[in-house]
């Protein structure tokens, strides 16, 4: 076969790859691995009839978080079975979708102090904090975040030992159309937390954070990177910047440094829970000085 003249051969087209500057430097970028929930993680699609939890250690306070995707619907699916079984001292509920502070017999009986952040828009967003302890102060909304949903996304309870910031974070939305709003959210939240951390207060930021900044905390990371809301370079980098500015850390990851595929959210499409394909969107970010069990 005759050797082809290089000048007569058209250059081979390269497959185009979209790469942003932020993507290139983001430590959250996927390595190519795909994680699913390990065998020991329950695959149930409803709250089990029998629930058992370890007893809290002497002198410890237990705080739990749950995105309930509507108080009304979760109530019908066994909300109180879980709440009663865990018997946490403080509960942060996100995406409550209530239009007024509810008169809920079960929650009222367990928690004397109840606070509901409610949106102006009917049936939208919502965050609540239920506590057995009386806070020194309560603040609704996120200063500096000029958005109608602010009051329904951040609820702060100040106690003598900690400042609890319960949140239902902004979602960047389908097609990342709300990314600009999400970036404004991060900027305002970072500054807000610094009002406390700069004074040496022990801050616990908890709830549905709507961001995953480690590929071990979601399934199909390579396919979702820079496409799915919650797993983009912009969001991951902003989240890391917020933590660094406030000397905060992911409490769950500190306690479980090597675990992968342990999720808090499963999409309703494609039988995700049964397949073990999910996201760890809900967590606790705490100041490095906060004592963990």
Distance CA 257, CA 250 (A): 10
Sequence-ordered list of residues with C-beta below 8 angstroms from that of 121, at least 6 positions apart, any chain: 148, 149
Is 34 among the annotated ligand-binding positions?
no
Task: Tell whether residue 208 is among the known ligand binding residues.
Answer: yes
Q: In whole angstroms, what is the distance from residue 27 CA to residue 10 CA?
A: 38
- 217 in a known ligand binding site: no
Q: How far apart are CA 84 and CA 47, in angstroms?
A: 12
Q: What's phi and psi for 114, nearest 5 deg? A: -130, 130
Which residue out of 168, 192, 265, 266 is catalytically annotated?
Answer: 168
Can you tell me the distance from the alpha carbon of 268 to that of 111, in angstroms, rounded to the nearest whole number?
A: 31
* Positions of E strands within the chain: 63-67, 90-94, 113-117, 127-131, 137-140, 154-158, 163-168, 203-208, 248-250, 282-287
Q: Is 231 a catalytic residue?
A: no
Residue 171 assigned ligand-binding role: no
Long-range interactions of 231-235: CB distance < 8 A, separation 24+ = 231/28, 232/172, 232/176, 232/179, 233/20, 233/22, 233/23, 233/25, 233/26, 233/28, 233/29, 234/22, 234/179, 234/182, 234/183, 235/172, 235/179, 235/182, 235/186, 235/211
> For this structure, is 147 an active site residue?
no
Q: In what order do the strands lie in the sheet with 90-94?
A: 63-67, 90-94, 127-131, 113-117
Catalytic one among 115, 208, 231, 282?
208
Detail the residues annotated as belonging to a binding site for Mg(2+). 67, 95, 208, 210
- Residues forming the active site: 168, 208
Detail the residues annotated as belonging to a binding site. 67, 95, 208, 210
């Amino acid at each position: 076969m005759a050797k082809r003249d290089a000048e007569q051969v058209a250059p081979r087209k390269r497959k185009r790859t979209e790469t942003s500057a932020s993507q290139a430097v983001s430590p959250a970028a996927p390595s190519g691995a795909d994680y699913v929930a390990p065998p020991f993680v329950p695959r149930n699609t409803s709250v089990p009839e029998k629930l058992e939890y370890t007893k809290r250690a002497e002198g410890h306070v237990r705080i739990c978080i749950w995105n309930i995707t509507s108080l009304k619907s979760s109530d019908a699916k066994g909300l109180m079975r879980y709440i009663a079984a865990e018997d946490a001292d403080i509960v942060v509920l996100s995406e409550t979708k209530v239009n007024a502070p509810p008169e809920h017999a079960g929650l009222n009986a367990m928690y004397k102090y109840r606070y509901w952040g409610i949106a102006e828009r009917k049936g939208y967003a919502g965050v609540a904090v239920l506590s057995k302890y009386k806070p020194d102060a309560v603040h609704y909304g996120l200063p500096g975040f000029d958005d109608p949903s602010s009051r329904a996304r951040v609820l702060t309870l100040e106690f003598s030992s900690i400042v609890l910031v319960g949140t239902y974070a902004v979602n960047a939305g389908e097609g990342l159309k709300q990314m600009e709003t999400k970036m404004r959210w991060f900027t305002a939240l970072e500054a807000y937390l610094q009002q406390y951390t700069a004074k040496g207060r022990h801050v616990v930021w908890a709830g549905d954070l709507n961001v995953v900044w480690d590929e071990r905390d979601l399934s199909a990371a390579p396919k979702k990177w820079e496409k799915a809301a919650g797993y983009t370079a912009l969001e991951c980098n902003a989240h890391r910047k917020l933590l660094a500015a406030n000397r905060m850390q992911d409490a769950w990851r500190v306690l479980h440094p090597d675990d992968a595929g342990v999720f808090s959210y499963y999409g309703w499409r494609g039988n995700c829970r049964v397949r073990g394909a999910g996201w760890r969107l809900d967590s606790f970010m705490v100041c490095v000085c906060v004592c963990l069990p």
